[in-house]
Structure 1
Amino acid sequence: MSLTAVLNNAASGVIAAQAGLRTSSDNVANTNTPGYARKMIDQEHRVLGGIGAGVEVTGVRRIVDTFLVAAGLAASSTASRWDTIASSLDNAQSLFGDPTSDTGYFSSLDKVWTTFQSLAQSPTSGILRSQSVAAVESFLDQTARINAELGRMTTVADARAAGAASDINDLLAQISVLNKEISRGSVVSGDTTGSENVQAGLIDKLATLMDIKVQPRPAGGVTIRSVEGHELVGDNAAVVAYRSTNSTPGYLAIQHAVGPEQVITVTGGQLRGFMDLRDTHLPGLSEQLGEFAARAAERLNAAHNASTSFPARSTLQGRDTGLDLPTAVSGFTGQSTLAITNASGVVQRTVQIDFTAGTLSVNAGPPTAFTPASFLTDLNTALGAFGSASFTNRALTLSATGTNGIAIDEGTSQKAGRAFSHFFGLNDLVRSSGHTTYETGLRTTDPHGFTAGQTITFRLSQEDGRPIRDVTVSVPAAPTMNDLLTALNSNTTGVGLVGAFSLDAQGQLSFTPGTAPPVAVSVSTDTTSRGVGGPTLSALFGLGVIERTSRANRLFVNPEIKADPNRLAVSKLDLTVAVGAPAISPGNGQGANALAAAGEKRTNFDAVGNLGALNVTLIEYAAQLGAAVGSRASSAETQRLSSESVSTEVSTRRASVEGVNIDEELVRLTTYQQAFNASGRMIQAAREMFDVLTSLV
């Protein structure tokens, strides 16, 4: 071997040892640097013409475990998702207060029952009347306040989801730039570990925002894909867009420089947490609150409509039923009695309505027939000079003439679970600015009442919010509810391929998924109207998230009763008294007793949020709702702790692989130092041999 070859071998050893010393020195210097992964040099024998020619440094690489990296990214995404959800639901739970406290939300309804109990003992007390009205108003105000805050939190979650998408775009762009830098450095076998460490930190941040899959690129850098494999970063970065509307679920889409927009799956990270809060958790709480408050109002109104004030009110103004009068009257069964009373509570005239027989009877006289179409005319005839009935804007109004008042004995009348006065809301204690109960009483043979050609558009979505397609259904010219159901459930122009709408015995319209996993149906737009100025299809039947989550904001105390608590119906009409005796008396507290007992009446509650359909009392449902709110928050907290535990464990193991061990680096420093000295001595020996040879010449 020539001296030149010896020198080249020794020089290569010096260069390799220097590279090794630099990497170990960098490792030691970055012992406590977050996100730093230790590095090592790769060496291989250099052979020229079959003869060893020293050593060559082929590159510098980071020491990472790809399995632990992937596991860490997945754990970080899951932990971030549940941390986002848990913190928000904890705040949502605090809105309801301590269920055992006298100042919590649920105690406000207990105060309603308590004040009415006190009023039943002293029905003439003006102070107790005012306190009772104030207690109902306080309950409704707290309901609206909580629901408004839930709505604000939903809006914030939506905005933060959009913000997370913007942050994702920034990270993808930076990762793409680093891909190019790392690729250029890899071509010349340079040390790219600095850029790789920076890129790894960006990837870790990205994983906290959404779940990703990361693959190394042969030329250096990484390819990042979504869960189902759509490329987010490769040669270039895709642009991520968060899409949502007020009435449909949010989803994520990506756009490359070339090609159409693609919808992608997001199952982890803060973005998924915000989307879950916006589309599931917070609306679920709002729907549960709305169901609770609406049923509480129903029970109070049922008791109030079955009672009367003293003296009886001269006018009973009904609510907007959303129906035309013939359809509203059709389907009633049983009997109800209207009584015109004077200022002393003495009955002046009675009109008994027998819905089953289809007859009206004045002062217990011979019955005369009526039909749903002729009901208003026949009722006015029966009332005669003592009163009148009118039907305007889908609301029934009964009035007494002069100084008389009108009181109602609900009797056995019934439709959609409500008696006559209750169904029309003639003497409601709690009013609403829209529809809050969706048992319309409509049957499949009843006219649907919507204008032919009007449309409602449904968004069909996957469980995670990804849209499948929009379906626009036109109101059919055929007139019945059965015809409308047929149009809604069409396989070609309706939702028939993914489920079916049905009308139950109480006239409530609901959708049942028919696929596994189930397809979610939301209302995108609704231009329908039941009659001129009437409710839309979604408003009448409570379809879509907007209708369901806004119920709790719509309830308020009847302004007439709020202005004059003496109009509170704390008495009962007694038609069994002798002629000339008052059928209503000021000391009668039976109505107040009925209001106080309203919370103990069993009620049908719809399945909302994470509560199934129940038949329980309001008091029992309040306990169920409080438990459900706490359970939702507790479950999220458990998921958070569990996922954080996994993330911490993976991070610890990853640090044991990637982190710098001072003892190991000292060994390497010593090894490289000795290699450097050995190569230096070899160069010195070659030099001395060269000097000897030169002196011999």
Structure 2
Amino acid sequence: MSISTALSNALSGLGTTSRAAQIVSSNLANAATDGYGVRRLSTSAATLGGQGAGVRINGVDRLVDPLLIGARRGADASLGQGTTQADFARRIETAIGTPDDPASLTAHINAFEASLVTAANRPESQTRLTAVFDAATRLAGKLNTLSETVQAARMEADQGIARDVDFLNSSLAQIHMLNTQIHKAQGASGNQAALYDQQQALIDGISPLIPVRELRDATGRVSLYSADGMALLDDRPAVFGFDPATVMAPDLTQANTGLSGLRLNDHPVVLDGAFPALQGGRLAAQFALRDDLAITAQARLDAVARDLTTRLDDPALDLTLTPGDPGLFTDAGNLAIPANELGLAGRLRINARVDPGQGGALWRLRDGLGATVEGPPGQAGLLNGTLEALRAVIPTQSGGFSTAGRNLETLATDLLSMAGQARQSAEVDESFAASQHSRLRSAELATGVDTDHEMQELLRIEQAYAANARLVQTVEDMLDQLMRI
């Protein structure tokens, strides 16, 4: 081996170890960076004229486990779906309230019944009649509030869909732009690795919304597909469309074109039915919340409101009422009818005839809502009849409840029980998704930057650098000796 060859080998070694040290420092600096792929310098022996010519840098490898990342992204989507549905279920159960909660629906029913008992004992008492009116008003207000809670959840889901659609469009456009940069950066391995990191972070941001499958071609460009095969990014990024609602009401649905559906490249995306698209992530879960779960919750509340009004609209209960007149609880002042049940819980109002604030009189709670003059102050027949009507066991007619007979309190208890069952089921799904996500996330982090290993690698690089530097020094000493001959 000639002296010049030895010097060339040593210099290539110095250059390689310097580059390796740079990569190790980058790994250590990004030890806590999400989406960062560990870099490793790829080298091979260089030859010239059949003889060794030092070391050649082939490139920088980015070490990731695509199968593990894909599984973790699937868990991201499952967790996004599970959390969305569990949060809604918890919200509804909490809003209804448990019987020991003085603000619960059951507590308001019990308070209304207790006020009727007290008033029937002293029907001449203005104070006790006021208590009946106040309890009835609070009961109607509780159902109004529950309905508002459901519609607020639907509105928030609709707004969440709009935000997610904007995020999807922006992220897909950025990933497509990075594809172009990756193609242009071929051969500059370090630059490509950084671009891959950026792409992975963007795809990770999409995965909680939609389960995605990633395919990367030989040029490094990535294509994205949903789990059911819809192209999200191929030659160009897909464009999602959605029109957020400005208001929300129980009668607004996709079916009556009151609410927007999802579009992909101007084509409708079917998110329900036998073969729903884009399932498994937060985006589909928010549609399910807005168009299914919340509608079911509203229907159950409306069934309770209908049961309440039906009990007190009975003509045999208050003989002062004429056909078509509403009882104590009204549909925004009108008689509640089954054909207009949708949204009844939100429109429930106390009959103006007993409301002093609307020109009514409290004594009509005792003498009859249709009475024109005050009767004997000691009669308690209507008050007792109202209490008996609330406690009567009658079949439930709607809301997905069985047709078994119930009194009003039992119906409210069943409503809470169904909400609790929905919450428990949703939390089981959420807990499983969270456990799976945590396990896969931990496994993915274990494949990331190992600082102990990097420090050991740095020591090895330091030793190799010192050895190559020593060889350069030796060659220099040899040349000095030759120059002195």
Q: Same fold (TM over 0.5)?
A: yes
> Is the contact made by 2:5 and 2:53 (CA closer than 8 Å) also made in structure 1?
yes
Q: Which amino acid aligns with 1:594?
A: G
What is the CA–CA distance in structure 2 between the aligned matches of 1:180 and 1:3, rounded to whole Å? 46
Q: Which amino acid aligns with 1:429?
A: L
Larger Rg: 1
> Is the contact made by 2:309 and 2:329 (CA closer than 8 Å) also made in structure 1?
yes
Cross-structure match for 1:622? 412
> Is the contact made by 1:292 and 1:621 (CA closer than 8 Å) also made in structure 2?
yes
Q: Which amino acid aligns with 1:247?
A: T
Cross-structure match for 1:471? none
Larger fraction in strand:
1
Q: Percent identity?
A: 24
Cross-structure match for 2:327? 428
Equivalent residues in 2 for 1:244-643 (5 A)?
246-248=252-254, 251-255=261-265, 261=267, 263=269, 265-302=277-314, 305-308=315-318, 313=320, 316-319=321-324, 426=325, 428-433=327-332, 436-438=336-338, 540=339, 548=342, 550-562=343-355, 563-568=360-365, 589-606=380-397, 608=399, 614-643=404-433
Please report the TM-score for the alignment, with normalisation by the length of structure 2.
0.82
Residues 307 and 436 from structure 1, CA distance in 2 versus in 1: closer, same or farther, beyond 3 angstroms?
A: closer
Q: Deviations over 1:307-342 (max 9, x none)?
A: 346xxx4xx4433xxxxxxxxxxxxxxxxxxxxxxx
What is the CA–CA distance in structure 2 between the aligned matches of 1:308 and 1:113, rounded to whole Å? 17
> Is the contact made by 1:607 and 1:614 (CA closer than 8 Å) also made in structure 2?
no
Larger fraction in helix:
2
What is the CA–CA distance in structure 1 between the aligned matches of 2:291 and 2:16, rounded to whole Å? 58
Match status 1:670 vs 2:459: yes
The alignment partner of 2:185 has SS state of: helix
Match status 1:646 vs 2:436: yes
What is the CA–CA distance in structure 2 between the aligned matches of 1:8 and 1:254, rounded to whole Å? 59
Cross-structure match for 1:187? 187
Q: Deviations over 1:58-105 (max 9, x none)?
A: 221222111221122122222233333333443333333342133322
What is the CA–CA distance in structure 1 between the aligned matches of 2:328 and 2:86, rounded to whole Å? 38
Cross-structure match for 2:223? 223
Q: Which has the higher contact order (CA 8 A, sep 6+)?
A: 2
Q: Deviations over 1:202-260 (max 9, x none)?
A: 222222333222223321242222222222234432222235773117643322xxxx6
Cross-structure match for 1:197? 197
> Is the contact made by 2:74 and 2:207 (CA closer than 8 Å) also made in structure 1?
yes
What is the CA–CA distance in structure 2 between the aligned matches of 1:656 and 1:671, rounded to whole Å? 22
Deviation at 1:162, TM superposition (A): 0.6
What is the CA–CA distance in structure 2 between the aligned matches of 1:435 and 1:674, rounded to whole Å? 91
Residues 686 and 608 from structure 1, CA distance in 2 versus in 1: closer, same or farther, beyond 3 angstroms?
A: farther
Q: Which amino acid aligns with 1:83?
A: T
Q: Deviations over 1:335-384 (max 9, x none)?
A: xxxxxxxxxxxxxxxxxxxxxxxxxxxxxxxxxxxxxxxxxxxxxxxxxx
> Is the contact made by 2:123 and 2:366 (CA closer than 8 Å) also made in structure 1?
no
What is the CA–CA distance in structure 1 between the aligned matches of 2:24 and 2:466, rounded to whole Å? 17
Cross-structure match for 2:233? 233
Please report the TM-score for the alignment, with normalisation by the length of structure 1.
0.59
What is the CA–CA distance in structure 1 between the aligned matches of 2:484 and 2:352, rounded to whole Å? 121
Deviation at 1:596, TM superposition (A): 0.8
> Is the contact made by 2:366 and 2:380 (CA closer than 8 Å) also made in structure 1?
no
Deviation at 1:26, TM superposition (A): 1.5
Cross-structure match for 1:657? 447
Residues 186 and 606 from structure 1, CA distance in 2 versus in 1: closer, same or farther, beyond 3 angstroms?
A: farther
What is the CA–CA distance in structure 1 between the aligned matches of 2:36 and 2:213, rounded to whole Å? 21
Q: Deviations over 1:106-135 (max 9, x none)?
A: 211122222333344445555444433443
> Is the contact made by 1:307 and 1:569 (CA closer than 8 Å) also made in structure 2?
no
What is the CA–CA distance in structure 2 between the aligned matches of 1:243 and 1:226, rounded to whole Å? 22
What is the CA–CA distance in structure 2 between the aligned matches of 1:53 and 1:251, rounded to whole Å? 65
> Is the contact made by 1:120 and 1:570 (CA closer than 8 Å) also made in structure 2?
no
Aligned residues: 458
Deviation at 1:49, TM superposition (A): 6.3
Q: Which amino acid aligns with 1:306?
A: A
What is the CA–CA distance in structure 2 between the aligned matches of 1:586 and 1:593, rounded to whole Å? 14
What is the CA–CA distance in structure 1 between the aligned matches of 2:2 and 2:110, rounded to whole Å? 102
> Is the contact made by 1:196 and 1:221 (CA closer than 8 Å) also made in structure 2?
no
Residues 59-68 or 266-275, more deviating: 266-275
Q: Deviations over 1:586-631 (max 9, x none)?
A: 755444333212233223325636x555433222111111122233
> Is the contact made by 1:211 and 1:226 (CA closer than 8 Å) also made in structure 2?
yes
Q: Deviations over 1:557-610 (max 9, x none)?
A: 332344134444768xxxxxxxxxxxx98755444333212233223325636x
Match status 1:114 vs 2:13: no
Deviation at 1:165, TM superposition (A): 1.0
Cross-structure match for 1:375? none
Q: Which amino acid aligns with 1:604?
A: P
> Is the contact made by 2:84 and 2:282 (CA closer than 8 Å) also made in structure 1?
yes
Cross-structure match for 1:100? 100
What is the CA–CA distance in structure 1 between the aligned matches of 2:335 and 2:442, rounded to whole Å? 55
> Is the contact made by 1:60 and 1:191 (CA closer than 8 Å) also made in structure 2?
no
Residues 198-207 or 183-192, more deviating: 183-192
Cross-structure match for 2:273? none
Q: Which amino acid aligns with 1:318?
A: P
The alignment partner of 1:192 has SS state of: helix
Q: Which amino acid aligns with 2:64?
A: V
The alignment partner of 2:447 has SS state of: helix
Deviation at 1:294, TM superposition (A): 1.1
> Is the contact made by 2:86 and 2:426 (CA closer than 8 Å) also made in structure 1?
yes
> Is the contact made by 2:304 and 2:412 (CA closer than 8 Å) also made in structure 1?
yes
Residues 263 and 104 from structure 1, CA distance in 2 versus in 1: closer, same or farther, beyond 3 angstroms?
A: closer
The alignment partner of 1:223 has SS state of: strand
What is the CA–CA distance in structure 2 between the aligned matches of 1:674 and 1:262, rounded to whole Å? 63
Residues 234 and 190 from structure 1, CA distance in 2 versus in 1: closer, same or farther, beyond 3 angstroms?
A: farther
RMSD, matched Cα: 3.3
What is the CA–CA distance in structure 2 between the aligned matches of 1:103 and 1:228, rounded to whole Å? 45
Q: Deviations over 1:655-686 (max 9, x none)?
A: 1111x223211222232333334444555666
> Is the contact made by 1:41 and 1:61 (CA closer than 8 Å) also made in structure 2?
yes
Q: Which amino acid aligns with 2:323?
A: G
Q: Deviations over 1:445-502 (max 9, x none)?
A: xxxxxxxxxxxxxxxxxxxxxxxxxxxxxxxxxxxxxxxxxxxxxxxxxxxxxxxxxx
